[in-house]
Chains A and B, each alone.
Chain A
Amino acid sequence: MATKAGSAEVPQSADAEGLRRRDYLKVGAVAFAGVGGVVAIAPLLVQMAPSADVLALSTTEVDISKVQPGQGIKVSWRKQPVFVRNLTPKEIAEANAVPMSQLRDPQSLAQRTKPGKQNWLITLGVCTHLGCVPLGIGEGENRGPYGGYFCPCHGSMYDTAARIRQGPAPKNLEVPDYEFTSPTLVTIGAKGK
């Protein structure tokens, strides 16, 4: 293999400066092994990502026919709690009465529900502060001063549209992807309309 002109011009005896044939071999071999070593790390890292059986739990079907106005249910989706709440007209009016300027994470109730189904508020039951499950979905639980949810861990308070109003949480309770597959059936996790 003809290397750079260097090896031909520089006398053999001289400890030639610059690139020698052996340097090519050394750099080439070590670089090749190095790249191989880095590639070998990949499976050690990707194995920690959600596995196929975890991803298979990506949708949950919920029957909402039995949920009366003012009531709510807690269901599990991807091993996380989801709050499905049937708001009363009074709660909807309360939510719509709040001016956007007063909200930390401004969103209207209409933006957080499906068109024509404004009474169905579906959110993750995971406080956006540090992940506790807020109170307020069950009968008789503390709903906090804004009538929505109250997180017992660090005192975050959500209103009837599950928007953050007071406390350390930065965001409103997250609205997951969901769709009404029939008037009484909701598929959570489905990327529908």
Chain B
Amino acid sequence: MSFSWARPYEPKHPLMRWIDERLPLPRVVYGAIGGGYPVPRNLNYWWNFGVLAGIFLTIQIITGIVLAMHYASTAGGAFNSVNQLIMRDVNAGWLLRYAHMNGASFFFIVTYIHIFRGLYYGSYKAPRELVWMLGLVIYLLMMATAFMGYVLPWGQMSYWGAQVITGFFSAFPLVGEPIRIWLLGGYAPDQAALTRFFSLHYLLPFIIAAVVILHIWALHIPGSSNPTGVDVKDEKDTLPFHPFYTAKDGWFAGGVLLVYAIVTYFAPNYLGHPDNYIPANALATPAHIVPEWYFWPFYAILRSFTVDFILEAKLWGVLAMFGSILLLFFLPWLDRSPVRSGAYRPVFKRFFWLLVIDVLILGYVGGAPLNWWRTALGQIAAAYYFLHFLVILPLVSAFETPLPLPRSISESVLHGEEAEAAPVGSSPRGGSTAAAVVQ
């Protein structure tokens, strides 16, 4: 697809040739995830998480379709259809439900690692801006899907989650409250909201799958990026996706699925909230209400606005929370450094890790009960989050002196023992110093 030396599809079996002449679907698959897609040979393990996200999307769709065969989307019956019928009566229902619950968490874990890999290695930069933006669209769709899925069991956390999240819209002046009532089909979450959430929760994963196809399509035009950020120059720089990366992705996926299985079997409720095993009660909010862990950083940003300033604090919180994701769409233009990989950007690299710590702090604050010092910590962390993207990144890309880049991917990989063992700065081959220094 992307490079002139990409191996063309040559069907061996007459039946495959017959199909290929009429519907070249096998050709498309071969060019996308087969031997016909040349991939930089130096990808490290951080590049495995895109495939993993695809695997977890598949797991979620399969287990979800099956759970929908037993689920009842009625306000009176939803809780029991999950906790009595599916968890106790349906054959293997407990397994499927726990697999779906924890599958959502693992989908977010691998997606977050995938996103931070993109942040570190500058995968959002030209010519991959659309790959990045389509990825953000997927992420937003995932958040909507996960939220609506969490409402379906109709426990206390489901109910109050629906109440709080739809409450975001009421922050907007004048139109906000009518929009909230329209979204819910009532004044509080009830039958109408539950049924439409179920309908959309079933629909959105297929939309995600469609955007994933666009994401991969856009990726395969320039081809995958790589840890050096240097463009592919010739065939020596690449390996065919199959068998090299199918094998690497395959065994790594096995390992991650093992961890997923361990959590699903031995700690299935570790990532959930016990309150969601209490049926929804419109008259009593749980004492400590927090979203699922994957929303904690955003929840912290939402809660960090405590004082009205021109606009109401409530509106500021909602705007900041949405803004924290929307600003990522502008990342390709906020970071103007021509060097993609963080490995060759000493200053950027330090700020990247600060950002990681900052998001972890936001996550901690978002998930913990509020007190004075956590509120203050959350406010500092939220301010730093915006500072990083809006001020630090543009400044760093303007003033930073990056390390010298390797001349090519193959050179960075094949610099040999000699260069690797040489003291810093005294490499016998000038161009490859950078690779040696960075290690």
Q: Which residues of A contact B (CB under 8 A)?
A: 29, 33, 42-44, 46-49, 51-54
Contacts of A49 in B (CB 8 A): 91
Query: Chain A binding site: helix, strand, loop or mixed by DSSP?
Result: helix
Q: Which residues of B contact A (CB under 8 A)?
A: 62, 66, 69-70, 84-85, 88-93, 95-96, 250-251, 254
| A-B CB pair tally, cutoff 8 Å | 37
The answer on a CB contact under 8 Å between A43 and B254 is no
The answer on a CB contact under 8 Å between B254 and A33 is yes
Contacts of A43 in B (CB 8 A): 91-92, 95-96
Q: Which of A46, A47, A51 has the most CB of B within 10 A?
A: A47
The answer on a CB contact under 8 Å between A29 and B91 is no
Query: Chain B binding site: helix, strand, loop or mixed by DSSP?
Result: helix
Residue of A nearest to B92 (CB): A43
The answer on a CB contact under 8 Å between B89 and A47 is no
Q: How far is the CB of A69 from chain B (nearest CB, A)?
A: 42
A-B contact pairs, 17 of them (CB 8 A): A43-B91, A43-B92, A43-B95, A43-B96, A44-B96, A46-B91, A47-B66, A47-B69, A47-B70, A47-B92, A47-B93, A47-B96, A51-B70, A51-B85, A51-B93, A52-B90, A53-B84
Q: How far is the CA of A160 from the CA of B224 in the complex (A)?
A: 77
Q: Which 9 A-B pairs have the closest CB atoms?
A: A43-B92, A52-B89, A51-B89, A46-B91, A53-B89, A51-B90, A43-B95, A46-B92, A47-B92
Residue of A nearest to B62 (CB): A44
Q: Quick one: given A48-B69, A51-B85, A53-B85, are A42 and B254 in contact (CB under 8 Å)?
A: no
Q: How far is the CB of A45 from chain B (nearest CB, A)?
A: 9
Residue of A nearest to B84 (CB): A53
Residue of A nearest to B93 (CB): A47
Contacts of B89 in A (CB 8 A): 51-54
The answer on a CB contact under 8 Å between B90 and A47 is yes
The answer on a CB contact under 8 Å between B92 and A42 is yes
Q: How far is the CA of A43 from the CA of B250 in the complex (A)?
A: 23
Contacts of A51 in B (CB 8 A): 70, 85, 89-91, 93
Q: How far is the CA of A42 from the CA of B92 in the complex (A)?
A: 9
Q: How far is the CA of A179 from the CA of B62 in the complex (A)?
A: 44
Q: How far is the CA of A49 from the CA of B91 in the complex (A)?
A: 7
Q: How far is the CA of A42 from the CA of B93 in the complex (A)?
A: 12
Contacts of A48 in B (CB 8 A): 69
Q: How far is the CB of B63 from chain A (nearest CB, A)?
A: 8
Contacts of B88 in A (CB 8 A): 52
Contacts of A47 in B (CB 8 A): 66, 69-70, 90-93, 96
Q: How far is the CB of B251 from chain A (nearest CB, A)?
A: 7
Q: 4 more A-B contacts (CB under 8 A) besides A46-B91, A48-B69?
A: A33-B254, A47-B92, A47-B96, A54-B89
Q: How far is the CB of A73 from chain B (nearest CB, A)?
A: 30
